[in-house]
Amino acid sequence: MNSPKLIDPRLELICAARHFYQQGWMVGTSGNLSVRLPDHSFWITASGQCKGELELGDFVRIYPNGTACPEGSRRVEKPSPDVKPSAETAIHQVLYALFPEATSCYHVHSVEANLVSRFVKGDTLPLPPLEMLKGLGVWEENPDCAMSIFDNHLQVSCIVDEIKERFRTIPPQLSALLIRDHGVTIWAPSAKTARNYIELVEYIFRYMVAARGVGVWGVGEERD
């Protein structure tokens, strides 16, 4: 019996990126997606590419000891010298290191994600106890759930350091984080699950924005 044909994992990223682009979550060249391979290298979207028109050549492969810095000496596979990996490659690297079960990491920019990141001044965003949380692995009745928020530093390395420090001390409740005024990042054990996670958190964000407008649930109130 012949072995099943191997599917290039970049094709899944291309489909996901096109879908997110159509939703208005990856406008222009914003956002970045990656998928990790069995050898622990990962493909990530190249910098400066329209996410609604990605092709196989619009990705860079980063190896386990790789770096996103062009001047680095570690191994980076890319289709041509002028193609650079996403400027936020280091965020994907640290999440894969912190959560070995993850094989996909998606980051999108939406209006709602940026709005809800300003609903609180602290570093956690309380979430409403919606049914959608079950899709993110929260199966409690009336769950008390929150998402971590990180400041959007100009230097990505500062964001990476803060993610590493906080998550090593306090594991996140959800496989998701917000960067204030920048968007949401999720990590998941498969590309299909990653796409679901993005859709679920964006639904929750839209609910929170709408609820705040009509005075439902007390969205935006600080916790003690």
Detail the residues annotated as belonging to a binding site for Zn(2+): 107, 109
Q: Which residues are annotated as a binding site?
A: 107, 109
CA distances (Å), 109 to each of 105, 112, 162, 192, 195, in order?
14, 9, 20, 19, 14
Helix (H, G, I), strand (E, B) or coil at 45: strand
- Compute φ and ψ for 194, nearest 5 degrees: -60, -45
- The three-point CA angle 26-27-31 to 5° equals 35
Residue 51 · residue 63 · CB < 8 Å: no
Half-sphere exposure of 73 (CA within 13 A, CB side): 0
